[in-house]
């Protein structure tokens, strides 16, 4: 079968005004580009390249959108790194969230990386990930903190603490031969943080010595003002715990380690025993307790069996599923299918989260089911401070820009509208528009003697879909075909030729599935057969090859079908090269058409929706 390759239209996310003067790079330049993280929230991967070295910052995954059925993860295309195998590669991790570390196993399978540098909490999570896949031996992992430095031949990196929803989050100062770059990692500013505070003085000092380019977190660039302090959320949760009479069930993100810690500590302070449900949450609590960021002793935890032996007001259940994920603990509780927890009237369910855009409907469904069981449900609203974000909003982004005072600015970590808005915010702080780079994955910036230019060169940086653990890209091709099949159907063209005499033996035959309703489209298909026939005849007047004939079929048929139906089915040309095969085909033809029409008729009566 011919594999049908379609390339998506180039995603032109660059500056719409196109005012950039793109240039070619020289050997002495430092290149900056993203393989993931721009135009999306997820699969962060930023690269700095100088001569024979590539410094990679973060290696994340993105979780697939709902329309990518059967896809487990989306990862960056590592092809460029594979192609540059001769260059030495070092990976630095800013913090332990999946959109920054989730791609590591896939990266290590594809690309040779000598060393990984990561802060403490991330190291534990990465170790666990690699241990589960028996890959721990393949790489050297070094723990770093704000006082560390990482030195390569062309790059030297220093670090500073930032505030984020997970402990041990770092921003990076990267000294390159062509200027200094600051990469913020994920950050917010919180003047009363839970956990380590941000290194304001260090950031201000870095700004003082001069920074060529700032790359900064854009996730919440659409949110005005200053975000709520995590401390306020902690107080609110404590108040609810104190006032609640019955059993408490609190759902939050496992990735928000500080929040999980606050919830557990508040529960214990209110005399409740705690229990965790959900694999990712158990994971984070185990590591958090081991590292001392979650200060709750073993005596405060109970087993599922002990759950029903304690009075309701002495129990706090902490679980995953705050986004309405169908397989998470909270959804199973709401459906009445949880192994250990049956809701009882008087239970209070607290959502310490807000729905990520797109999850609103599923969260709503879960909330409704919980109410139906008689539970009291508390969610974040204007009256409550049950959740705050881990990312800087506009005023905090301005503060970062003011502290670092960069000459050039590149918004990162966000969908296009977030990057664009962050650019506008940067302009407000005085950065000229021409010094702000709105890049897409694969766009290359050139650093040259303290100046930054966009390159005329682009790196391949498509999405790679991972089905299970396969990253060969096969599933990417399969899924693309599946999508086209689902949306547009399939058309097979069977043509019989005699290559010895260089002639067509009969008019080509067209068979389609899921494209048009055959019975109503005999005219269309006849016309299509005619067009293909004439195109082939013309082509065969000269010497030609099988693949040229197949291309001729596709290039004539695709535009014709699109013009007539506004669909782009997969076109599969089949060429038979013998008289005998042709005779066989013609003999089968009438019988086949008759049976197809019968099946279609049956389908039509049983399922009127099918087309």
115 is catalytic: no
User: Residue 45 or residue 370: which is nearer to Zn ion going by CB?
Assistant: 45
3-class secondary structure, 171:
strand
3-class secondary structure, 240:
helix
> Can you say how many angstroms the Cα of residue 255 is from the centroid of all Cα atoms in its chain?
15
User: Residue 99 or residue 463: which is nearer to Zn ion going by CB?
Assistant: 99
Size of the site for Zn ion (CB under 5 A): 3
Tell me 325's DSSP state.
Answer: -
Q: Which of 217, 347, 443, 463 is catalytic?
A: 217
Least distance to Zn ion from the beta carbon of 36, Å?
A: 11
Least distance to Zn ion from the beta carbon of 296, Å?
A: 23
Q: Where are the alpha helices (DSSP H) in 29-70?
A: none
* Residue 176 near residue 30 (C-beta atoms within 8 A): yes
User: Residue 97 or residue 405: which is nearer to Zn ion going by CB?
Assistant: 97
> Can you say how many angstroms the Cα of residue 147 is from the centroid of all Cα atoms in its chain?
31
Least distance to Zn ion from the beta carbon of 407, Å?
A: 25
40: CB partners within 8 A, 6+ apart: 62, 414, 415, 441
User: Residue 77 or residue 186: which is nearer to Zn ion going by CB?
Assistant: 186
Closest CA to 58 of 6, 137, 126: 126
Alpha-carbon gap, residue 444 to 463, rounded angstroms? 17
Q: For Zn ion, which residue of 99, 347, 443, 463 counts as binding (CB under 5 A)? A: 99
Site for Zn ion in 361-380 (CB under 5 A): none
User: Residue 20 or residue 63: which is nearer to Zn ion going by CB?
Assistant: 63
Site string for Zn ion, 134-173 (x = CB under 5 A): ----------------------------------------
Alpha-carbon gap, residue 562 to 560, rounded angstroms? 5
Least distance to Zn ion from the beta carbon of 195, Å?
A: 14
Beta strands in 203-309 (DSSP E): 211-217, 248-251, 273-277
Least distance to Zn ion from the beta carbon of 194, Å?
A: 15
Closest CA to 384 of 413, 359, 407, 353: 353
Least distance to Zn ion from the beta carbon of 105, Å?
A: 18
Site string for Zn ion, 251-290 (x = CB under 5 A): ----------------------------------------
* Residue 389 near residue 356 (C-beta atoms within 8 A): no
Which of the ranges 82-90, 180-188, 228-236, 459-467 carries the binding residues for Zn ion, by CB under 5 A?
Answer: 180-188
Which of the ranges 123-131, 178-186, 312-320, 354-362 carries the binding residues for Zn ion, by CB under 5 A?
Answer: 178-186
Which of the ranges 95-103, 129-137, 320-328, 519-527 carries the binding residues for Zn ion, by CB under 5 A?
Answer: 95-103
> Can you say how many angstroms the Cα of residue 367 is from the centroid of all Cα atoms in its chain?
27
344: CB partners within 8 A, 6+ apart: 246, 247, 312, 373, 374
User: Residue 170 or residue 317: which is nearer to Zn ion going by CB?
Assistant: 170
Helix (H) or strand (E) holding 335: helix 329-335
Which of the ranges 92-100, 205-213, 475-483, 543-551 carries the binding residues for Zn ion, by CB under 5 A?
Answer: 92-100
Is 97 a binder of Zn ion (CB under 5 A)? yes
> By 3-state DSSP, what share of the chain in percent is helix, strand and coil, each rounded to 5?
35, 25, 40
Least distance to Zn ion from the beta carbon of 164, Å?
A: 6
| Structure-derived torsion over alpha carbons of residues 498, 501, 505, 510, reported in degrees to the nearest 10 | 50
Q: For Zn ion, which residue of 186, 265, 415, 443 counts as binding (CB under 5 A)? A: 186
* Residue 172 near residue 94 (C-beta atoms within 8 A): yes
User: Residue 125 or residue 535: which is nearer to Zn ion going by CB?
Assistant: 125
Q: Which of 25, 154, 391, 413 is catalytic?
A: 391
User: Residue 33 or residue 187: which is nearer to Zn ion going by CB?
Assistant: 187
The torsion region of residue 294 among left (phi > 0), alpha (psi -120 to 50) and beta comes to beta
β-bridge mates for residue 215, sequence order: 183, 410
Which of the ranges 23-31, 183-191, 220-228, 456-464 carries the binding residues for Zn ion, by CB under 5 A?
Answer: 183-191
Least distance to Zn ion from the beta carbon of 71, Å?
A: 20
Longest dimension (CA), the chain: 92
* Residue 159 near residue 144 (C-beta atoms within 8 A): yes
Which of the ranges 9-17, 181-189, 306-314, 449-457 carries the binding residues for Zn ion, by CB under 5 A?
Answer: 181-189
Least distance to Zn ion from the beta carbon of 217, Å?
A: 7
72 is catalytic: no
Residue 596, number of CB atoms within 10 A of its CB:
15
User: Residue 216 or residue 552: which is nearer to Zn ion going by CB?
Assistant: 216
> Can you say how many angstroms the Cα of residue 498 is from the centroid of all Cα atoms in its chain?
51
Task: Give the active site residues.
Answer: 217, 391
- The footprint of Zn ion (CB under 5 A) covers 97, 99, 186
């Amino acid at each position: 079968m011919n594999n049908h390759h379609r390339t998506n239209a180039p995603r032109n996310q660059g500056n719409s005004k196109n005012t950039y003067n793109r240039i070619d790079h020289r050997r002495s330049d430092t290149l900056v580009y993203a393989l993931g993280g721009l135009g999306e929230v997820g699969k962060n991967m930023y690269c700095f390249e100088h001569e024979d070295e590539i410094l990679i910052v973060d290696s994340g995954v993105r979780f697939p959108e709902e329309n990518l059925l059967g896809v487990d993860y989306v990862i960056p295309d590592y092809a460029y790194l594979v192609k540059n195998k001769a260059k030495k590669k070092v990976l630095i991790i800013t913090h332990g969230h999946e959109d920054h570390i989730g791609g590591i196993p896939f990266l290590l399978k594809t690309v040779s990386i000598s060393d990984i540098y990561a802060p403490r909490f991330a190291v534990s999570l990465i170790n666990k990930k690699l241990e589960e896949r028996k890959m721990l031996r393949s790489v050297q992992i070094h723990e770093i903190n704000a006082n560390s430095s990482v030195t390569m031949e062309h790059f030297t990196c220093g670090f500073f603490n930032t505030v984020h929803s997970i402990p041990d989050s770092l921003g990076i100062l990267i000294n390159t031969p062509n200027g200094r770059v600051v990469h913020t990692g994920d950050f917010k500013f919180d003047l009363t943080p839970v956990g380590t505070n941000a290194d304001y003085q260090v950031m201000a000092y870095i700004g003082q010595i001069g920074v060529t380019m700032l790359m900064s977190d854009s996730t919440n660039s659409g949110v005005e003002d200053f975000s709520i302090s995590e401390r306020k959320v902690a107080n609110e949760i404590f108040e609810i715990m104190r006032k609640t009479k019955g059993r408490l069930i609190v759902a939050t993100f496992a990735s928000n380690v500080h929040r999980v810690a606050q919830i557990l500590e508040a529960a214990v302070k209110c005399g409740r025993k705690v229990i965790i449900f959900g694999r990712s949450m158990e994971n984070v609590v185990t590591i958090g307790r081991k590292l001392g960021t979650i200060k709750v002793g073993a005596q405060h935890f109970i087993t599922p069996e002990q759950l029903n032996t304690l009075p309701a007001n002495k129990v706090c259940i902490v679980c995953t599923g705050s986004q309405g994920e169908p397989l998470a603990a909270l959804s199973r509780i709401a459906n009445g299918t949880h192994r250990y927890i049956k809701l009882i009237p008087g239970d209070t369910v607290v959502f310490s989260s807000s729905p990520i855009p797109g999850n609103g409907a599923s969260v709503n469904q879960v909330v409704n089911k919980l109410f139906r069981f008689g539970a009291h449900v508390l969610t974040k609203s204007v009256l409550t401070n049950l959740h705050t974000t881990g990312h800087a909003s506009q005023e905090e982004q301005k503060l970062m820009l003011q502290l670092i005072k960069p000459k050039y600015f590149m918004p990162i970590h966000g969908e296009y509208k977030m990057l664009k808005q962050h650019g506008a915010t940067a302009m407000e702080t005085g950065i000229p528009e021409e010094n702000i780079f709105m890049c897409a994955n694969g766009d290359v910036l050139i650093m040259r003697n303290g100046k930054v230019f966009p390159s005329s060169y682009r790196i391949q940086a498509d999405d790679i879909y991972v089905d299970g653990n396969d990253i060969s890209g096969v599933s990417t091709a399969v899924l693309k075909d599946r999508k086209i099949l689902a949306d547009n159907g399939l058309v097979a063209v069977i043509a019989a030729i005699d290559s010895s005499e260089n002639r067509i033996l009969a008019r080509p035959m067209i068979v389609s599935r899921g494209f048009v309703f055959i019975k109503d489209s005999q005219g269309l298909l006849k016309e299509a057969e005619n067009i293909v026939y004439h195109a082939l005849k013309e082509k065969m007047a000269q010497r030609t090859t099988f693949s040229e004939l197949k291309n001729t079929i596709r290039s004539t048929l695709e535009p014709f079908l699109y013009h007539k139906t506004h669909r782009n089915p997969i076109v599969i040309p089949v060429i038979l090269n013998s008289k005998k095969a042709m005779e066989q085909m013609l003999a089968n033809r009438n019988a086949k058409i008759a049976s197809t029409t019968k099946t279609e008729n049956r389908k039509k009566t049983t399922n009127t929706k099918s087309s």
